Amino acid sequence: MPRILDGNRVRDDIKSELKPRVAALVEGGRPPGLAVVLVGNHPASAIYVRNKIKTCHDLGIHSESITPPDTVTTAELLSIVEELNRREEIDGILVQLPLPPQVDTKRILLAVSPEKDVDGFHPFNVGALVAGLPAPRACTPAGIIELLQRSGIAIAGKRAVVVGRSDIVGKPAAMLLLHQHATVTICHSKTPDLPAVCREGDILVAAIGRAAMITGEYIKPGAAVVDVGTNHIANREQAARIFRNSPERMAAFDKKGSVLVGDVDPFDVVERAGAYSPVPGGVGPLTIAMLMVNTVAAAERRVLACRVC
């Protein structure tokens, strides 16, 4: 049986390490502050934001949730972001995606001050990532590295294959792996003979956004497989095919009417991998944990800057 890369355990370790840092900031004047902007009524985003706010509360981080209606204009949302940029008690700003179609998402993300960009999406921070300079890192890719390192998976000198080229996960994950001295290949749905390329990876990161697409033929025997996928399946026939009509899994599907599936086939990965991150319970918990890391680090940089001044 392969080792399970337990994201819940790693998340709890990170939270334990953050608590004394938060306490030191509180003792020094005020807690770190995170503002989350949630536009409209997107159920999945609302759940995610609630989890972020709860984690802030658990750690003693000040949090605010700003909830403009889904009719908000680009100009109105820019005004909200600019106000948050000016507020000294806010160290981190997170604009929850996706935004409504009438909003210019790129303009909104560019408006967030790089110092408060705890999502790590601003071009300034992306450039710092490429150059290997200190700056907030995209949360999910940073969580992937923490999961591998804290699970004892060697990265240096290994072949790493990242399936998916998104700005949010694929590209920054590849860059972080490169900084850890892996030899990295980025591939995608149009890569010729994609299974053969994936089989070259001692580390395989699946972030393509297609339920159970990465089957056994994509996995090198003994590889460490990191499944970033979060695909909600509501079709019973599709769920039955993915879970091989498992009575336990199908009972869970019937109870909820849907099931969460990663990008990696959940049965094939057990047969082929040496270690893997399950869905749920793998990378997911670390996305919020790394958001907290970025927020606390932003607050610490603010304190240091004030001392220099």
**Residues tagged active-site:** 52, 96, 119
Which residues, 6+ apart, have CB-to-CB distance to 182 below 8 Å?
Answer: 155, 156, 157, 158, 159, 160, 203
Peptide bond into 69 cis (omega under 30): no
Q: Are the C-beta atoms of residues 214 and 265 closer than 8 Å to each other?
A: yes
Residue 41 CA, distance from chain mean position: 21
The whole-angstrom separation of Cα 206 and Cα 77 is 33
Amino acid (one-letter) located at 152: G
DSSP letter (8 states) at residue 40: S
DSSP symbols for 210-249? -TT-B-GGGS-TT-EEEE---EEE--HHHHHHHTTT-HHH
C-alpha distances out from residue 16 to 23, 49, 295, Å: 12, 21, 15
